[in-house]
Amino acid sequence: MDTDRVRLCFYRLLQLFSTCAAFSLVASLGTGMGAVSHWSMFIWCFCFVITLITFIVQLGEYQPSLPFSGKSFLFTYACLATAFCLSASIMYAITYIQFLPHGPFRDQAAAAAAFSCIACVLYALEGAFLWLLFPETTFYFATIHGLFKLLETSVACIIFAFISNTSLHQHQPALVWCVAVYSICFTLGAVAMLLKLVKFESRLHTFFPHFLLGQTMLSVLLYASALVLWPLYQFNEEFGGQPQRSGDVSCSDELPSTLCIWDQKLTVAILTAINLLIHVADMAYWIHFIFIREDNCRVGDCDLLDCHNTMFFTVTSRDKYYELSEIPCYVHTIPGLLKVLQTFVACLIFTFLSHTSLYLHQPALEWCVAVHSICFFPAALTILGNLIGWEYRLPVTFPIFRFPLTLLSVLLYVSALVLWLLYQFNEKFGGQPQRSNYMDCIDGLTYYICTWDEELAVAILTALNPLIYVAGLVYWARQVSVGIED
């Protein structure tokens, strides 16, 4: 056994001892620790099991039979374990140790947190050692985009630790949506990392970069909706929230046993904002990387109508990620961004329209729902067609078809806006102009957004989407006129 393998085995033994000690010390304290502390125990146990498996595989030299690179897996796991153990140490100290009275139990819990910190340092040393040991290998988490994915995953795991307390969100469908957002974004990020780890992206060719771009943009939009809904329904009295910490019974100063409910809600709101910023930085990195590194699709160098040309970019050895990968520039053009906005606003409208009592009593309002559906599907199909490359096979005159299609969408949305306002807020057509006339809008009796507010939200979004379509109409009118002149 060579010196490098002996050093890795030494790291493994110390990691096994540290995680096992942390888990054992906390388990011996008994129950009553709270969801976050249980999550910390799960992290220590998970790291112990995975480290034990890698230790056995390394000793048995079973690596050639694995479907992935052993070096990449070890470095990836070392980075993830470092982040997880660090978050577990911080969460356990903040949510549990500080509330324990001075004595042997507090000392035992502090010792568990100390072992967790030691494990974090050991995993970090292993990652640094692997990075120096294989300088010719480009590890995914050693790139900027890989670091973003690591941060996104770590923050999401901390959020899951807090929302494992189901009393934070089960009473409101909007808060359940926030939980779904965290799960969807985490799953997409985990799938991206897994595909990169097993080197499956080479089989996907150009689709893998498309997936990464779409995943990052979708995550930004979803996290933005969660950042709006979570504080609104947790800290606004009109939506059943609690704006004052003193109003939460679990936050009383009389011998609290763990982090109170209001503090947990605030922590989730802060972490949601942090992860949104990380996703925005990730998206900005992709856009900067594509536009700075490549001159094939600069403004003025290529016609946006003929944006079927693919972009190729190369990476320096310092930040190697792809070699000559193809990225469609449609998503980064004006019509591409407008399509994303149109579908996103339509999805928000569909969220409110899932409450069928808003429109089933009037055929005119059902027409409005049909308008939203009719306009949504062409926009979604356009985005999908560009992502998977179907639009490349269409005739050159296809962009001219988009002008009347966009014009039709504008006319349909204008009719929906007029009818929705008339039949929802005009008494002559059976509407209700006053919010106070709705029983579910009475302050103190509602724990969710009331019917009148939902009708108003749909009206605002219905007015917003035609403006986006009008911007697209102006763009395509100009492009068609330029094409005719040429």
pLDDT score recorded for residue 261: 82
CA distance 3 to 16: 20
Provide the token pair at 51.
């480290």
Among the residue ranges 72-76, 116-120, 157-161, 416-420, the one predicted with the least confidence is 72-76
Beta bridge partners of 325: 313
**What's the whole-model pTM score?**
0.58
Higher pLDDT, 182 or 335: 182
448-466: per-residue pLDDT in tens? 677 888 888 898 888 888 8
Q: Would you mind telling me the total number of residues written for the chain in this entry?
A: 486
Q: What is the pLDDT of residue 486?
A: 40
| Mean of pLDDT over the chain | 76
Query: How do residues 111-144 score in pLDDT, each as one tens digit?
Result: 988 999 999 999 988 888 888 887 766 677 777 7
What pLDDT shows up at residue 87?
A: 86
Radius of gyration over alpha carbons of the chain, in Å?
27
According to the model, what pLDDT value does residue 203 have?
62
Q: What percent of the chain has pLDDT over 70?
A: 74
Flag whether pLDDT at 306 surpasses 90. no
Q: What pLDDT does residue 182 have? A: 93
| Long-range contacts of the stretch 376-379 (C-beta < 8 A, 24+) | 376/342, 376/343, 376/346, 376/347, 376/350, 378/405, 378/409, 379/339, 379/342, 379/343, 379/346, 379/409
